[in-house]
Structure 1
Amino acid sequence: MSSICCIYRCGQPVKGRSNKCGAHRTALRRHGHPEQSSLTVAELEPYRSTILRIWRHSEDSAFWKTLRDRWDRQLRRAAALVSDWQRGMAVNLNQRKAAEELLKLDRNVAFQELAVMALAVYVLEMDQRHRFRDHRAFRFQLVRRARALDDLSAYKVWNQKRRAWHRVYKDFTPEAVVILSDHLGEIFAEGAFLLHDHRKVGQARIAGEAQAMSEAVKGLP
């Protein structure tokens, strides 16, 4: 086996028995793909602000109530699975971890905050598919952004080189990440597709108004 990382143009020595260097091994574990980078809050902010604005102007809509109902349904399933495990029944380890994480998010993060973030990640993915190396990488970013809302999913360590505190997230097993992303997808994916179309309608209307104004200004004295 080659002693150089298998990622194109990396050139770093492999680590342990892996065919990847330490950095690409870490990226694979954290992001689902060795070449996937973290999705930043700044990238998501335009989508978050747009969705939040729509929500605040239509709080009584059945759209948001349906999302909440789906969330509550997933929570009941998660609670039942954890309850089975606590009673001594055999439960898949990664399914239990995903269920516990879902329940923890419910305890520590407001539903609207979580929903807006999840919807924003989905809409961004529809607009910028090139941002994710593959679907698995997208699923990892969805879960990471959701878990980042929960302060209990992270801790701080001192970075001696930078002389500053560094926020570090507690790693989740890759199998549990995939399961948790499926749970979030059942709740938010369909709504995100609908919101994406809604946002495009709004953009088209604005573009039409701009075109009308552009034509009208030509006739001004």
Structure 2
Amino acid sequence: MTARICTVPNCGSPAASDFSPHCRRHKSTLRRHGAPDQSGVTKTELAPYLARIEARIARNPSNETWPLTEEIWASIVAEAGAASSRRIGNRYERSAANEIVSIAQDVSPATVIATVLAMVLMWRDRPRRFRTDDALRVQIARRVRALSSRHVGLRYDHRTGQQVRIYREMTPKAAALLGRKLMTAFGAIGLRLADLDARDRKAATETKQRLATAISNLQ
């Protein structure tokens, strides 16, 4: 039995092995979420950021940004389709390519892009929600992948007599590669939208302050 202790602050559990810096729980979390102390971003948690992205798109319906981003996604999908059919090459890149192809078959381009932009907006608003850059990329990959049902299956539970949903996890390297591709493609756009949101909030605050001042000066 190893004498090492998990390096995650306040954990105190034994390390999974003499070669691991983390206990079994945090080692598993690292594999799934990109950092040993990173929790998954939920659909509910992302919803308000997605609503802000959708509102921005609705205010700029004829802006060329949106069709251009869909062209970028189409290019990523085409590249992934070619990569997924190769028998040689990096297996993690091929795995990430397979994930992209599956997502594209199940989810509209606009939904994929809006989800990535919402994740970037969330990161800008709450940077501490993501423990590392790797964790951010993995969470982006997981949220986009969750839009598709192709990684979900059913298993019969003999104990309860019911069908239960099971999820096929991505490999850590495939998740990191997918997240990197999405962040590279759409990250700058998401940051620009975050800046516009900050500008609008500042303008709204200034308007409220002017109104408060005007009201206080009423006689």
| TM-score tier after normalising by the smaller chain length | 0.7 to 0.9
Q: Report how far residue 157 of structure 1 moved.
A: 6.1
Q: For 2:123 and 2:26, locate their aligned partners in 1 and report how far apart those are by CA, in whole Å.
A: 23
Matches within 5 A, 1:90-105: 90-105=88-103
The partner residue of 1:204 within 198, 202, 205 is: 202
Q: Report how far residue 158 of structure 1 moved.
A: 8.0
State the one-letter code of the partner of 1:139: R
State the one-letter code of the partner of 2:45: E
Q: Does 1:82 align with 2:80?
A: no
The partner residue of 1:68 within 64, 67, 70 is: 70
State the one-letter code of the partner of 2:70: R
The partner residue of 1:35 within 31, 34, 37 is: 37
1:152-175 CA deviation, whole Å, 9 max, x = no partner? 2234568999xx987553211111
Instruction: Name the stretch that deviates more: 142-151 or 9-18.
Output: 9-18
Instruction: Name the stretch that deviates more: 148-157 or 12-21.
Output: 12-21
Aligned to 1:45: 47
TM-score by length of 1: 0.87
State the one-letter code of the partner of 1:151: S
TM-score by length of 2: 0.87
CA spacing shift, 1:10–1:156, aligned 2, 3 Å: farther
Q: For 1:218 and 1:160, locate their aligned partners in 2 and report how far apart those are by CA, in whole Å.
A: 70
After the TM superposition, list the runs of 4 or more consecutive aligned residues in structure 1 that deviate by more than 4 angstroms.
156-161, 164-168
Native 8 Å contact 1:67 1:191 kept in 2: no
Q: For 2:157 and 2:218, locate their aligned partners in 1 and report how far apart those are by CA, in whole Å.
A: 62
State the one-letter code of the partner of 1:48: L
CA spacing shift, 1:168–1:15, aligned 2, 3 Å: farther
Q: For 1:27 and 1:168, locate their aligned partners in 2 and report how far apart those are by CA, in whole Å.
A: 18
1:167-210 CA deviation, whole Å, 9 max, x = no partner? 55321111111211122123211110110111111111111211
Matches within 5 A, 1:12-161: 12-15=13-16, 18-83=20-85, 85=86, 88=87, 90-155=88-153
User: What is the number of equivalent residue pairs in this alignment?
Assistant: 217
Q: For 2:36 and 2:187, locate their aligned partners in 1 and report how far apart those are by CA, in whole Å.
A: 25
Matches within 5 A, 1:1-12: 1-12=2-13
Q: Report how far residue 64 of structure 1 moved.
A: 0.7
CA spacing shift, 1:70–1:205, aligned 2, 3 Å: same
Instruction: Name the stretch that deviates more: 39-48 or 191-200.
Output: 39-48
1:40-96 CA deviation, whole Å, 9 max, x = no partner? 22332221101111212322211111211111111121122223x1xx4x2211111
Aligned identity (percent) is 28
Cα RMSD of the aligned pairs, angstroms, is: 2.6
The partner residue of 2:177 within 152, 176, 179 is: 179
Q: For 2:199 and 2:22, locate their aligned partners in 1 and report how far apart those are by CA, in whole Å.
A: 45
CA spacing shift, 1:2–1:156, aligned 2, 3 Å: farther
Unaligned runs of 5+ in 1: none
State the one-letter code of the partner of 1:57: R
Q: For 1:169 and 1:110, locate their aligned partners in 2 and report how far apart those are by CA, in whole Å.
A: 21
